[in-house]
Amino acid sequence: MTSENEITKTRLLERIQTGWEELMDVLAGLDDETKERVDPASGWAIRDHLFHLAAWEQGIAYLLTGRSRTDGMGITAAQGRDLTMDQINDVVFERGRERSAAEALAALRMAHEEMLNALAGLDDADLQRGYSTFDAQDGDNDRPITGWIIGDTYEHYEEHLDYIRDFLVL
């Protein structure tokens, strides 16, 4: 497995594309009714997973282009600072709860396109810059931004595809 400290932009884009295609392939076979049916165990519908993925991917797109990550995610700066990741996920969940599967998929596609556009302006050296060089408010985080990009794209798709596939076999 390639470490986030060693991945090139070309390889990163390949991994994102592969993960995206896998996610889209699974979703292509589902109708809106299936995407909107709630899993009784988790309380989430597939639509909720799509809004969740969109929020995190749009957040990283905003960060990469010098905007507020929290704005991209649709949360306040105070929420981003004061809430745990699970609490942030709850806010994102509640915000998308009453929206349709079609809106969820459109939001995810838009966020993905925006993230790819943000990546287009970066090179291999940029991807090794610390998180704090993209977010001056987080001055003590020198871990390469690549880790966040990976975590909010193909690794995140993989994680939620597992939930979606488990739900589909119920």
Segment 112-143, tens digit of pLDDT: 999 999 999 999 999 999 998 898 776 567 88
Q: Mind listing the domains of the chain with CATH numbers?
A: 9-20+44-168 (1.20.120)
pTM assigned to the model: 0.94
Residue-wise DSSP of 85-152: HHHHHHHHHHHHTTS-HHHHHHHHHHHHHHHHHHHHT--HHHHTSBGGGT-TT-TT--SBHHHHHHHT
Segment 64-75, tens digit of pLDDT: 999 999 999 999
Query: What is residue 94's predicted lDDT score, i.e. its pLDDT?
Result: 94
